[in-house]
Amino acid sequence: MDHSPAADAPILFFDSGLGGLSVLGPTRALLPTAPIVYAADYAGLPYGAKSNEELAARVPALLGRLVERYQPRLAVIACNTASTIALTHVRAALDLPIVGTVPAIKPAAEMTKSGVIGVLGTAATVRQPYVDDLGARFAGGKTVLRHGSPDLVTAAEAKLNDQPFDTATAAEQAIAGLRNQSGGAAIDVIVLACTHFPLLLGELQAAAGPGVQLIDGSAGIARRIAHLTEGQAWPAEALPGVAVFTRSPDRPPPPLAALAPYGIGSIETI
């Protein structure tokens, strides 16, 4: 009996907000006709301010609803905070392949010349023992400095929603949060450990300077998705994707024009 998914079964991308677009972009480049459902939990944003217990309960429950509604072939938790806290809970709860997002500490450790790596994430991500474990496994003998920046999430959301926000200052303050730590002046690679942050790549690179390389895990996640779906049927041509937002009283969905470059053609709320 053939259990392979139907050609129109989508890939579900899930994030607290718009950060997962930085993962959707490279995935569309590899799988140009893949049907897409992009889900943003605006009712729960920002995840970085939530407790581990809240997220461990919220994320699997919400993903369960989304899987039931959209019947995806695979789900991507395109959010470092949700992945580091809730990935094992989601995999236990749902019977489909789940791809998580982990800070790109391993490639950063291979790239650094100075031996000092910066990890920029949300407050929730940078405090996780999971990040300690990645550092111990892949960056032994290197110095790993971390900084949590909730303002960068706000800045990225504002940028895509076409709202006024001093994104340059937010980037400068975030980079300073790493540099001002003991040994921080020697940082030559910075891991963007939040999917929102690559949306501010220009601002962060300007703040970090030309001698610092910025790295994130989005290309590796896209390759993982392509590998897991290898040999599966896809539509002959790309259809407009759907973006779905959890209802928030004070945060309406962004304009469709902000999502259209990522292949999104309609917006729904749940």
CATH number assigned to the domain comprising residue 192: 3.40.50.1860
39 within some domain: yes
- pLDDT of 154: 93
Task: Give the Cα separation of 104 and 205 in Å (integer).
Answer: 17
Residue 138 lies in a domain: yes
Q: Could you give the CA distance from residue 38 to residue 17 in angstroms, rounded to a whole number?
A: 10
79 is catalytic: yes
Buried b (16+ CB within 10 A) or exposed e, 2-32: eeebeeebbbbbbbbbbbbbbbbbbbbeebe
Please identify which of the residues 31, 37, 66, 79 carries the catalytic annotation.
Answer: 79
Q: What is the pTM of this model?
A: 0.93
Judgement on whether residues 79 and 172 belong to the same structural domain of the protein = no
Residue 2 has pLDDT above 70, yes or no: no
Task: Please give the single-letter amino acid code of residue 157.
Answer: E
pLDDT tier, 4 (very low <50, low <70, confident <90, very high otherwise): confident
Confidence (pLDDT) at 270: 94
Residues near 153 by beta carbon (within 8 Å), at least 6 away in sequence:
16, 17, 19, 45, 46, 48, 122, 194, 196
Same domain, 43 and 139: no
268 forms beta bridges with 244
In a domain, 170, yes or no: yes
Q: Which of 194, 207, 244, 264 is catalytic?
A: 194
Mean pLDDT of all residues in the chain? 94
Residue 176 lies in a domain: yes
- Give residues with Cβ within 8 angstroms of 132, minimum separation 6: none
163's tokens: 């709202």
Number of domains in the chain: 2
- Amino acid identity of residue 121, one-letter, is G
Assigned domain for 6 exists: no
Give the model's confidence band at 257: pLDDT under 50 very low, under 70 low, under 90 confident, else very high.
very high
Structure-block tokens of residue 158: 């504002």
φ, ψ for residue 102, nearest 5 deg: -120, 145
Residue 1 pLDDT: 45
Give the pLDDT confidence of 129-138 residue by residue, as tens digits.
Answer: 889 999 999 9
Range of the domain at 34: 11-101+219-269
User: Among the three residues 171, 192, 216, which one is the final residue of a domain in this structure?
Assistant: 216
Answer yes or no: is 40 within a domain. Answer: yes
Same domain, residue pair 66 and 142: no
Domain identity same for 224 and 239: yes
